[in-house]
């Protein structure tokens, strides 16, 4: 420009060459002289960037003041004012849509240059990365808590079981049963934390989602009671298929049904609907951004009191609840979120106060044929005739002692080891196991999974039962594909005995 009057045609040519950033030249009053096509596209169905339009008029009322201040500072001269975040006044834009607005003085003449950059995708990515980092931190914390806490609960429940087996008097029996119930509730809380952190050991399989919901409907109706009407709007059988852990899907439906019931204390209708959607582009919904692709969407809707706008962004946080006085723990929805994430899906929510709430579960559609869950034979009753040589590997001495006592009482020959090295030493000394029962997480360089693989290499027919309060390697590892049984701590000793007897069939 070199101090001469700028050529408007040259400006327009330069502006039109910029396709990603909205540009506008402003006069000394902050009104638009001319703008490029990119700015018109960004404005969408909102006010058009026409000549004579005040620049702040392009933005929503709550952000227009900040834009006006940036424009005023730019017209006052250098230095250039800072960049501000704003929202364009297009009602069709998603709720998280944002633009960066910058303005600087023109060189060689009065006026200013306005720059509007869409930063929605960048901020979404940043939010997802921050959420991922937070989730990873929570996952590490939950994993550490789960392993140590579940080991303690396993020892507590095992000792209570052993004491009950001695048939104490009635008051002592009642106390021991209370201990067992408390240990079970504690384990459930830890499991919900692991679900939120997407760190559960899942057993996904392809299933027809409509059939799975139909199978769950009778239990849901009993749970909801007579004051709540459950209606199903499902696709024709077999309907769309998804890959998910069936038991976790049941947990998701139970949590959402309970939420819907509690939102309508006087009763009401709850609708579960299924639809298949093909998204050509990402869809932004409250609670998440769903990428393009083929999706199976399962929605659970109620006509209850709704969720306050201030609470809506926090409903998936662990321990956040608006029903603390009514016994809410704040882990139900965080569990739903974790299960959906670990299943490769999303959960979104829409709610209006006084009108109701709808949760939408987004599952990736799969083309594989749904396979019914394999029928497992009922385990035989433990007996001396079914006695087997068991290599028991557990680093927690109290739990190892209790498990060994239960196994010996059932007639099995047990060799105890505190870690993988001790187990291998026993094998080298001549103990030939028929069954390996090992904790997944142990001190030393070799964990339970590596020990099982090593011993299977020596004895291909070796039965393997792995146990853990939490083992990161168990999440995503195909234990069932290897033929390994897996038991979560804390467990009842009868579950361990059943697993050993089932492994012999």
352-383 pLDDT tens trace: 888 899 999 999 999 866 555 444 443 444 44
Cα angle, residue 280 at apex, residues 275 and 284 outer, rounded to 5° = 75
Instruction: Please check the confidence at residue 253 and state whether its pLDDT lies above 80.
Output: yes
Instruction: Please check the confidence at residue 505 and state whether its pLDDT lies above 50.
Output: no
Q: Please indicate whether residue 363 or residue 160 has the higher confidence score (pLDDT).
A: 363
**What pLDDT does 323 receive?**
63
CA dist 376 and 159 (Å) reads: 29
37-51, 281-295, 394-408: least confidently modelled range: 281-295
**What pLDDT does 462 receive?**
92
Instruction: Please check the confidence at residue 2 and state whether its pLDDT lies above 60.
Output: no
Q: Please indicate whether residue 329 or residue 105 has the higher confidence score (pLDDT).
A: 105
DSSP 320: -
6-10, 17-21, 61-65, 293-297: least confidently modelled range: 6-10
**What pLDDT does 392 receive?**
94
**What pLDDT does 200 receive?**
65
Which CATH architecture best describes the domain 8-118?
2-Layer Sandwich (3.30)
Residue 21 C-beta-side C-alpha neighbours within 13 Å: 15
**What pLDDT does 1 receive?**
42
Instruction: Please check the confidence at residue 7 and state whether its pLDDT lies above 80.
Output: no
The residue length of the chain stands at: 505
**What pLDDT does 123 receive?**
84
Rg (CA), the chain: 31
Instruction: Please check the confidence at residue 330 and state whether its pLDDT lies above 70.
Output: no
Q: Percentage of residues in the chain with pLDDT exceeding 90?
A: 34
Instruction: Please check the confidence at residue 470 and state whether its pLDDT lies above 80.
Output: no
DSSP 397-427: HHHHHHHHHHHHHTT-EEEEESSHHHHHHHH
Counts of helices then strands in the chain (DSSP H, E)? 12, 19
**What's the mean pLDDT in 205-217?**
89
Instruction: Please check the confidence at residue 321 and state whether its pLDDT lies above 80.
Output: no
Is 467 within 8 Å of 392 (Cβ atoms)? no
**What's the mean pLDDT in 167-175?**
88
DSSP 394: -
pLDDT tens digits for range 129-155: 776 676 667 667 766 677 777 778 888
Instruction: Please check the confidence at residue 504 and state whether its pLDDT lies above 70.
Output: no
Is 113 within 8 Å of 172 (Cβ atoms)? no
* Dihedral angle sign, alpha carbons of residues 177, 248, 127, 324: negative
Which CATH architecture best describes the domain 384-503?
3-Layer(aba) Sandwich (3.40)
Cα separation values, 207 from 212, 240, 374, 397, 480, Å? 7, 9, 12, 42, 17
**What pLDDT does 490 receive?**
81
Instruction: Please check the confidence at residue 347 and state whether its pLDDT lies above 80.
Output: yes
Sequence-distant (6+) residues with CB within 8 A of 327 are none
pLDDT tens digits for range 82-107: 899 999 999 888 888 899 999 999 88
In CATH, 206-366 is 3.40.50.720: no
pTM: 0.57
Q: Please indicate whether residue 96 or residue 112 has the higher confidence score (pLDDT).
A: 112
**What pLDDT does 393 receive?**
94
The percent of the chain in helix, strand and coil, each rounded to the nearest 5, is: 40, 25, 35
Q: Please indicate whether residue 481 or residue 47 has the higher confidence score (pLDDT).
A: 47
State the chain's mean pLDDT as an integer: 83
**What's the mean pLDDT in 425-445?**
90
**What's the mean pLDDT in 107-129?**
85
């Amino acid at each position: 420009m070199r101090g001469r009057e700028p050529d408007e045609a040259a400006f327009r040519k330069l502006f039109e060459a910029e396709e990603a950033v909205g540009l506008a030249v402003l006069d000394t009053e902050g009104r638009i002289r001319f703008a490029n096509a990119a700015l018109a596209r960004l404005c969408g169905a909102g006010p058009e960037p026409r000549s004579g339009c005040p620049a702040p008029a392009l933005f929503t009322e709550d952000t227009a003041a900040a834009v006006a201040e940036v424009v005023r500072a730019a017209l006052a001269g250098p230095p250039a004012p800072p960049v501000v975040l704003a929202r364009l006044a297009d009602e069709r834009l998603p709720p998280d849509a944002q633009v960066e607005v910058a303005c600087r003085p023109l060189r060689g003449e009065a006026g200013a240059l306005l720059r509007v950059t869409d930063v929605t995708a960048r901020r979404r990515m940043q939010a997802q990365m921050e959420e991922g980092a937070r989730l990873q931190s929570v996952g590490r914390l939950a994993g550490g808590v789960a392993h140590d806490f579940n080991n303690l609960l396993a020892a507590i429940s095992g000792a209570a079981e052993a004491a009950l087996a001695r048939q104490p008097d009635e008051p002592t029996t009642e106390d021991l049963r209370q201990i067992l119930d408390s240990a079970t509730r504690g384990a459930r809380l830890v499991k919900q934390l692991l679900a939120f952190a997407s760190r559960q050991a899942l057993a996904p399989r392809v299933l027809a989602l409509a059939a799975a919901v139909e199978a769950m409907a009778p239990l849901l109706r009993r749970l909801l009671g007579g004051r709540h009407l459950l209606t199903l709007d499902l696709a024709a059988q077999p309907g769309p298929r998804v890959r998910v852990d069936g038991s976790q899907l049941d947990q998701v439906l139970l949590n959402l049904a309970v939420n819907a019931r509690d939102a309508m204390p006087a009763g009401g209708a709850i609708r579960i609907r299924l639809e298949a959607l093909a998204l050509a582009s990402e869809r932004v919904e409250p609670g998440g951004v769903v990428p393009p692709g083929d999706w199976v969407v399962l929605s659970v809707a109620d006509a209850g009191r709704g969720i306050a706008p201030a609470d809506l962004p926090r409903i998936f946080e662990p321990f956040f609840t608006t029903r603390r006085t009514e016994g809410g723990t704040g882990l139900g929805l965080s569990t739903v979120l974790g299960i959906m994430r670990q299943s490769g899906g999303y959960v979104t929510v829409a709610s209006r106060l006084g009108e109701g709430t709808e949760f939408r579960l987004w599952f990736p559609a799969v083309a594989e044929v749904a396979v019914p869950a394999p029928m497992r034979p009922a385990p035989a009753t433990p007996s001396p005739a079914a006695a087997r040589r068991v290599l028991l590997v557990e680093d927690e001495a109290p739990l190892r002692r209790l498990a060994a006592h239960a196994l010996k009482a059932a007639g099995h020959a047990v060799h105890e080891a505190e870690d993988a090295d001790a187990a291998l030493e026993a094998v080298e000394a001549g103990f030939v196991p028929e069954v390996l029962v090992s904790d997944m997480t142990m001190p030393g360089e070799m964990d339970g999974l590596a020990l099982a693989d090593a011993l299977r290499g020596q004895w291909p027919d070796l039965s393997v039962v792995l146990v853990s309060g939490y083992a990161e390697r168990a999440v995503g590892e195909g234990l069932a594909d290897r033929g390994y049984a897996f038991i979560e701590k804390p467990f009842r000793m009868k579950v361990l005995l059943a697993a050993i007897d089932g492994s012999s069939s």
